[in-house]
Amino acid sequence: MTEPMMKPPKRNLGPVKWMRTHLFSNWYNSLLTLAVGYLLVTSVGPLLNWLILDATFLGNGPDDCVGAGACWLFVKQRLNFFIYGFYPDELQWRVDVMFALLAVAFVPQFIERFPGRKWLGIFGITGLPIIGYVLIPGGVLGLEEVGSSKWGGLMLTLILAYIGILASLPIGVLLALGRRSDMPIIRGLCVVFIEVWRAVPLITVLFMASVMLPLFLPDGVSFEKLVRALIGITLWQSAYMAEVIRGGLQAIPRGQYEAAGALGLGYWRKMGLVILPQALKLVIPGIVNTFISLFKDTTLVLIIGLFDILGAVQSTIADPAWQNVAIEGYVFVAFCFWVFCFGISRYSQNLERKLDTGHKT
């Protein structure tokens, strides 16, 4: 609270001195600096040429892509398919509304002093999925029905990732608590669940969800392929999540459990108010790691015939009308994934800083 008696000395070096200490401090650092500099100079130029300067942005069709650079015209003309899949053009406003709500709920989370951002965040994990559940498939409230076989592209990727992330966290928490439970039956069930799901590749899970599950279900009972994939992804992911969270639970000193117990807090309050807030905070990096890897793993749904953004791009690349546009397509997909995954990562760093209360026990 009080002002320091003396300000610490400034450590502003000036550009020449900074370069000398950081780039040319000795002969091998100088050599390294020069080598890296050479690589940058020789590669950035051609890259910029290909990406922007020589690239084609305008035109009417494949014939306009004649320059040496990238053919962004291809991405531009197929953007609708990349984002909405086969979702009917005249109904795409429904998806747009969801994109807008997603932005309204989550973009303010990056802005420290945005008014009501907590409530927007809560809306993002409660109201948003409910609205989406009505709006995207339609079939109620006079909305025309759009079957999930028509969904695709970025929209499908986001649906898979969003629901997978949202559902796997609470299930993971319960599994982690169960695995540390004193009750042998609950502990046993959780151990079996985690060890079985975690030991199976996601591709296998998706195959089984799409091919085998219908064989075991009674006649007349069937889920849509998308729902089956979602259940598979969520359960698979929650097994991973459980182990990440269990790591956090183990890091909480026994004294915290004892103090909460001694204050008369029962099991659920002890966990919910004292242990989990600390444990989850500790494992934010691990949780985010799992989220990001789930986000990228959604591309595997291609093998059961769902066209996520990668699938949509890949199927278009094969179009004989466009020649040699594979690189443009993959760069576009990579960029889309990077934007979302980097966003998740940045948000988690914000959160870690905000929740830091000088953790000492």
For other proteins, the binding residues (CB under 8 A) are: 253, 255-256, 258-266, 269, 273-274, 277-278, 281, 355, 357-361
Least spacing, CB of residue 256 vs other proteins, in Å? 6
Q: Is the dihedral of CA 199, 204, 205, 206 positive or negative?
A: positive
Tell me how far apart the alpha carbons of residues 103 and 346 are, in angstroms, rounded to a whole number.
15
CA-to-CA distance for 192 and 206, rounded, in angstroms?
20
Query: How far apart are CB 273 and other proteins at their closest, in Å?
Result: 6
What kind and span of H or E run contains 194? helix 184-198
Q: CB nearer to other proteins: give 94 or 270.
A: 270
In which region does residue 190 sit, left (phi positive, over 0), alpha (psi from -120 to 50) or beta (all else)?
A: alpha
Least distance (Å) between residue 356 CB and other proteins = 9
Compare residues 281 and 296 and give the one whose CB is closer to other proteins: 281
Q: How far is the CB of 358 from other proteins (least distance, A)?
A: 3
Min dist. Cβ of residue 278 to other proteins (A): 5
Instruction: Name which of 277, 282, 287 is nearest 345 in CA terms.
Output: 287
Residue among 22, 79, 282, 77 at smallest CA distance from 176: 282
Kindly list the distances between the CA atom of residue 238 and the CA atoms of 14, 230, 357, in Å, as whole numbers in the listed order. 51, 12, 28
The residue to which tokens 């025309």 are assigned? 144
Minimum Å distance from CB 173 to other proteins? 16
- The residue assigned the tokens 């690189």 is 327
Q: Which is nearer to other proteins, 11 or 360 (CB)?
A: 360
Instruction: Pick between residue 156 and residue 276 the one whose CB is nearest to other proteins.
Output: 276
Helix axes 127-135, 117-125, angle to 10 degrees: 50
Which of 61/272 has CB closer to other proteins? 272
Nearer to other proteins, 267 or 335 (CB): 267
Whichever of 271 and 292 has its CB closer to other proteins, that residue is: 271
* Tally of residues, the chain: 361
Amino acid at 317: I
How is residue 161 written in tokens? 């990732």
- Dist CA 316 CA 69 (whole Å): 20
Shortest spacing between CB 62 and other proteins, in angstroms:
58
